[in-house]
Amino acid sequence: MRRKIAISLGILLTILYPTVFFLFGKKSVKITGWSFDYFEEKSKKWNCKDTSLLFDKEGKLYEVEFDLPDEGEFLGFRRDDNPEKVIAKWGKPSEVEEYATRGYKEEVDRYKYLIYKRDGGEIQFEFASYGFKEGHHYELKTISFDKVNPPLPKGIKMGMSREEVMRILGKPDSSSDFKDVLIMPFLFALSYLIGSFWTAFLVDFLPRGRKELTKSFSFLCPHSSPSSSSPAPRLPSLYLKSFLKKEIYQKSPPTSHLSPKMSSSPSY
């Protein structure tokens, strides 16, 4: 009885998962933000290599990241500037973060971030040193502005809408939205229960089911014993031949295997 209840519950959960997804999946999707990316061809108009912009769920600009060009200045900074030069211009940063990763052929890539907190927001300078060797210095890679309004290229400002930004910078080369599926935790829990059920079914219930099927088959097709009212079951021809040979051997006298010279009967 418990096994039937467990199997019924597992099948119900399996059917419930796609039903919930198709009925409530689209309705539970919530847009949490957007991103615009301008590649080198368009970014070079404001002397940048690449430009990325982030918008909140209301479609308002709140963060911009500029990838510095290989040559020339951007906002008074150059790509070959090191952390010491930035600190000399801007003073001591609010935070300093450093990371290292293993790069090509066991070389180590290092990253350093100088973070300045200004007017409730942050300005971050990212430095990189690829394939670090003794004496190899950092170079300034990107500058990002988060919820602060310094003078930015083309007059863009935090809080602008996506439409305003597109009117100033043009259509982005790449754009995407960020989505949050509200029922995702429920779907994860449901998929875990379904996976657990089918695992248990294959490991435990299925072997038991085979045994029950064998018992049912034996009950439906029993071996009937011979009686006077019903004829005896016919044996296959192979077993019938073996049985007849055995009967003939038992009824006929054994044949002597002795040679005539060793026969016990006298010869005249």
Q: Spell out the domain ranges in the chain.
A: 1-28+182-201, 31-179
Residue 87 structure tokens: 């600190």
Contact in structure between 144 and 123 (CB atoms under 8 Å): yes
pLDDT beyond 50 at 117: yes
Residue 175 structure tokens: 């754009």
Give the separation between CA 175 and CA 37, rounded to whole angstroms: 6
pLDDT beyond 70 at 226: no
* Strand-pair partners of 195: none
Give tens-digit pLDDT for 66-90: 999 988 889 889 998 999 999 999 9
Give the separation between CA 34 and CA 165, rounded to whole angstroms: 12
Which stretch of 22-36, 160-174, 194-208, 229-243 has the lowest confidence by average pLDDT? 229-243
Contact in structure between 145 and 116 (CB atoms under 8 Å): no
Angle, helices 2-24 vs 184-200, to 10°: value is: 150
3-state secondary structure 60-103: EEEEEEEECCCCCEECCEECCCCHHHHHHHHCCCCEEEEEEEEC
Contact in structure between 98 and 112 (CB atoms under 8 Å): yes
Continuous H helices in 112-183: 162-169
Give tens-digit pLDDT for 233-252: 544 455 445 544 554 444 44
Residue 109 structure tokens: 């890539």
Between the alpha carbon of residue 61 and those of residues 130, 156, 245, the distances in Å are: 32, 9, 100
Give the separation between CA 260 and CA 240, rounded to whole angstroms: 36
**All residues at 6 or more sequence positions from 83 whose CB lies less than 8 Å from its CB, including other chains:** 112, 114, 125, 127, 138
HSE-up of residue 185 (Cα within 13 Å, Cβ side): 1
pLDDT beyond 70 at 197: no
Nearest CA to 130 out of 112, 115, 117, 155 is that of 112
pLDDT beyond 70 at 52: yes
Task: Classify residue 105 by its DSSP letter.
Answer: G
Give the separation between CA 27 and CA 48, rounded to whole angstroms: 40
Q: Which residue has the tokens 């009950």?
A: 219
Which one is predicted more confidently, 214 or 106?
106
